């Protein structure tokens, strides 16, 4: 079963990641722009990827934790000193990005809206 959680900002992300059980289910992190009042992200690439990712997750029958991580508004993300960009564990360059925590696998940008790439990423977790 996919356990989905939402984390808002770097501080929430940092606190959560410290609690991850290395012996627990795999953790996948989906970094995206903050949601506007409309419910959509300010990031157009994130808006394109989200329905594809959500559709894939709804069909997945694996025991994983999928964390939606809001990187902040456009101004926060575009700042080169943004903690998500400077954290050596993440090295985020673009959003959306999906990372397997404590792994090397990742999808970046338009890769996140390709079902076949999502499937490969999640299959690597077996």
Catalytic residues: 43, 46
User: Strand order in 27-32's β-sheet?
Assistant: 2-8, 64-70, 27-32, 97-100, 106-108
- List the one residue out of 101, 125, 116 whose CA is nearest residue 52: 116
Strand stretches in the chain, DSSP E: 2-8, 27-32, 64-70, 97-100, 106-108
């Amino acid at each position: 079963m996919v356990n989905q959680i939402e984390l808002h900002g770097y501080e929430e992300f940092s606190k959560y990641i410290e609690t991850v059980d290395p012996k627990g289910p795999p953790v996948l992190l989906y970094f995206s722009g903050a949601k506007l009042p409309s419910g959509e992200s300010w990031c157009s690439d994130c808006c394109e990827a989200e329905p594809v990712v959500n559709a894939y997750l709804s069909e997945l029958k694996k025991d994983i934790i999928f964390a939606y991580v809001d990187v902040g508004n456009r101004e926060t993300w575009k700042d080169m000193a943004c903690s998500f960009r400077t954290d050596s564990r993440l090295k985020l360059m673009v959003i959306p990005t999906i990372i397997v925590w404590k792994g090397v696998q990742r999808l970046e940008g338009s890769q996140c809206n390709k079902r076949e790439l999502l499937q490969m990423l999640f299959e690597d977790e077996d």
